[in-house]
Amino acid sequence: MKEVLKNNTDIVSIVDSVYAMGITISEELNGVVRKKGKKNPNGTRKEREKMKMIKETRQQIARIANELYRRKIRRKATNKEKRILKVMKENFGSEKLTNNMLRVKKENLLDFLRTQKIILEGIKRRAKRIRNNILYKENQSVLFKENDITYEGETPQIETVREFWSEIWETETQTPLRNWMQEIEKVIGEEISEIRNFEISLEDLGKEIKKRKNWSAPGIDGIQNFWWKKFPGIYENIAAVMKRWCHRPEEIEKWLASGKTFLIPKTCRLDIPSEYRPITCLNTIYKIFTGLTAGYLKEHLILNKLWDEEQTGAKEKVLGTIDQLLIDQCIMEEIKEYKRNLAVAYYDYKKAYDYVQHDWLLRIMTWMKIPDITIKLLEEIMSQWKTKLIMFNKDEMVESRWIHFRRGLLQGDSLSALAF
C-alpha cells in the first residue's frame, strides 16, 4: 500500500485504495464482508467472557464455603479437598489459611460477583439494542415479534419527512448583535494570552486514528476505522492532505462532509416525523480530521482558561449522562439519610444540536481569537455539510434527496459536542 501511494496526496486515491484493500482482504479471509456468520447461541464474545468469569468466581466462593463448613463440623479433608486447599494457598500467597482470611476473601468475591453480574446485564442490554437496530433496518417483522412492540400509524412518505427536517436544517438565520455581546467579547478577549496555529503532525494523526472504535458505522465512503488503523504506512500521505486543507480550506473535497442520516423511531408513533431520532453516519476520514480540529480547539480553550470542565458532554472518556445520574443518586441518598429538604429542576433542549446557528458559532470563535485561517477552515467545512435521510418502511429502505445544513450541527461529528 505504501509503495502504491508513494508521494500521492490525492485523498480520492487514498480512500479508494484503502477501500479496495479492505474488501480484498475481507474476501480472502472467508468472505467476512460478503457473508454473515451464524449467531452464537451463548451471546457475544464479551458476554461469554463475562459469564466465564462469573462461573469461575462462583466456583471459588463455593470452595471457600465448603472449606469453612468442613472446619466447622471438624471433618477430615478428602484428597480432592486437600488439592483444592493447596491451590487456594497458592492463590492467596499464604502457607496457612485462617477462618478469618477465608471469610474476608469470600465477602470480597461476593462483592466482585455482584459487580460482574451488573456489568453482564449492561452488556446484554447493549447487545440487544444493537441487534434491534439491525433488525429494524433488515427485518422489522422479526423485531416487532421478538420485542412485542406495537407501533401506531403508518410510516410517512420520505418527502414528508424531508420537508420537516429541511425546514429545520436548511433555514438559515442570522444572530442579531446585542450590547451584551460586545461586553462578553471584551471579557473573553482579555483572557486570551496564548494563540497557537493549527498544525497536524504524524504523531497526532496516529493517536487520533488509534483511539477510534474499530467498527463504527461508516459514511458514504464505506470504510470503517479498523482499516485506517491497519495501514499506518499511508499516514504520511493523509497528514500531507490534511495539512493542505488547514492552509488552503477551499481545496477540501465537496463530498468529504456528506453523510447519510438514519431515522430511528423514538416512540411508538410512526406517523409523526418529529418522533424520529436522526443518526448521521459520516465518512471516517472526515471524522478523523474534525477530531484533530476539535482537539486543537480544546487545547486553545484550556491554554487560555476558557474550558468549562463542568460540561461533561464534551469531555473525552467520560459517560456524561451516567456520571450525572450517579451524582443525582448520591445526592438523593444523602437527602434521605439526613432527612434534608431538596428542590430539583431539570431542563432539556429539544433538538439542541439542530438549532445551533452557524454565524453565531463563528462569531464566538472570533471572540476567542481562533486564527483566521482556522475559522475559514471551519466555515468551509460547515458550508459543505449535507445529508440524505434514510428510513425503513416495513423491510424496504427509502432514501431522500440531499439536505444542506444552513443551521444545526451534524450528529456524530467529532466536532459537534465541543462546538455545542
Tens digit of pLDDT for each residue in 89-147? 888 888 888 999 999 999 999 999 999 999 998 888 888 888 777 776 666 656 665 66
pLDDT tens for each residue of 219-262: 888 899 999 999 888 999 999 999 999 999 999 999 999 999 98
- The rounded Cα 289 to chain-centroid distance in angstroms is 16
- What's the CA gap between 232 and 209, in Å, rounded? 10
Query: Does residue 33 surpass a pLDDT of 50?
Result: no
- The overall average pLDDT reported for the chain is 84
* Beta carbons within 8 Å of 271's beta carbon, 6+ residues apart: 152, 153, 154, 155, 156
Please compute the mean of the pLDDT values over residues 205-217 and round it to a whole number: 89
Q: Note the pLDDT of residue 374.
A: 92
* Beta carbons within 8 Å of 287's beta carbon, 6+ residues apart: 212, 412, 413, 414
Res. 348 pLDDT band, cuts 50 70 90: confident
Q: Note the pLDDT of residue 373.
A: 93
- What's the CA gap between 185 and 251, in Å, rounded? 31
Count the Cβ atoms, other than its own, within 10 Å of residue 200.
22
Lowest mean pLDDT among 69-73, 236-240, 271-275: 271-275
